[in-house]
Structure 1
Amino acid sequence: MWTPNDGNNIEERGRVNNGSDLVVMDERAIAAAMPVPNVATLNVTKSSKVHIGPKFVSVTQNVQNAEMVKELPLPRYLWNVVKNSSRTERLVCAAALIVLIVCITLIVHFTVQSTKSGSGGDRPPHEWNITREMWLAQSFNSTDIHEKFEPLMLVIVQHTVSGECTKFAQCAAELRTMQGWYIALHHYDIPYNFIIGNDGRVYEGRGWNKEGAHTFGYNRCSVGIGFVGDYRGERPHHTQVTDKQLNRTRMLLEDGVRMGYLRPDYLIVGAKDIQDTASPGSNLLQALYLFNNYDHKQRFRGLNCTQIQEKFGDQPLQI
């Protein structure tokens, strides 16, 4: 016989053979009667449902796959990469490696060479006589000296009032800058026939038998020589004249006589000797006094080229 139990569960009462009472309850009644365990934290592995006590509880789980990564030595790791790559990939990597090695080798080579060049001293293409091609001058048209003034009897020395240069590379760069300035501003070539660097070398400007632009009124009948630097001794920072510069200047003028561009009795002067100017500076002018061919009498002052030729062209110049 079934009787209701406090309105929620149903009990079935009967009597068994031994005379005791038997209570039969269904599964829902059993579940309601048993206490539910309090679970705060639950670790679930590979399951979407968990049976907790009399209930089935749906559990949402976050699955994290943790893989153990074992560190390999670099050579073995590279070998594994190579072993697992295709033949084309290996060839590409080999080519890239060869290119990288070649690049590194070239960089090291040129760095060493540059260091040797910088520490090995100055190595110009000629010991002292530097042509326009050697200092990379721009090509520019110049006017030849008129034949009526040949061979020339007058050498005029100026100073450039520019930065000093003590090595070939520096002097060549200084001359290129100077030439570029004259071309851009005045539209003519570097004004001197020859330039004497602070390294003691002679640099070809316009060269022999070319009309210069160094001394107004005398360019058609003279050779102009410019000394790099500022030789005004009265200034706090001035350039010193060296014996090497003077000796190379003498060698240049001897070549001019030998090649027929200068008269054997030519005279050398500073620009200050023939016109109102501070050039070539007191230091350089005093050094010119020691030249055997220096014109102490200043016989050309106030004369133009035609007058000089008419007055001294047919007679020897007395030193």
Structure 2
Amino acid sequence: MWSKSDAEADGPKPGTEVVAMSDMMPPEGLTRPLQPVVGNITQSSRVHVGHKFYKITQNVENTEMVKGHVLGLELISPAKANRLRCSVAVFVCWAFLVAFGLGFYLFQIVIQPSLEDIGLNETWYFHRDDWQAMPMYGQDFLKLPLKYVVIGHTGWQACEEKYSCIDKMMETQRDNLGRGFKDIVPNFLSVATGDFRTDEPNTLQFEHVNILLEQLVKKGVLEPDFVLYGQCQLAHNTIPPGPKIMDRLNELLHWDPKDKNKCLH
């Protein structure tokens, strides 16, 4: 049996465990003794079960603490953390690419082409579809608004009828593409093309150009104080736009006659 001295020597101590037990004799009529009832171990270093003493040397952690500890290890597992970071990084990259692609599409397909429609509603103003333009090979966008306007000429035979002028426009585009340009070189062409070394421009051409220039200012394509030159004023010792045009450039808005004398005739 467990003596008093044992109890005093091995009494409850903080941080140890105790087994609650029962050494009741079996009720009358039962031949098998009752099994000792073991409860929660709370405090003790020695336990008496039946006729034997047991020394308890291992602490049992609280079940919830164990679960939390295991869960914590799962959450901070380096391998899983790395996989999570990689997944987030991949998602962010894809999201960026999708957003960039969508933005580029909106700019190229929706926003930028709208700049071709400058809101000029005149019977003599033709859009690309109107003159059956071929698809461009590429686009180079200028930073708007622009400061300078340059007047040149095509050098082709003049036209006056709608369909003959459309044919000249298509011919000009084919020629420009064939020489390595991405599209037709001029941003705008007069209704009547021509070689103004010999062809005489008509007054309507200058009136239409001025209407176009005013509209481009309104749309923010040109600065209000833009400056206009003939091509030969910038590329000295050349002919375009031709002497017949140079003689009348003063009819166009904001023309600057600087270096006019360096144009060939």
TM (normalized to structure 2)?
0.49
Give the structure with the higher percent strand.
Answer: 1
What TM-score results when the alignment is normalised by the length of structure 1? Answer: 0.41
More helix by share: 2
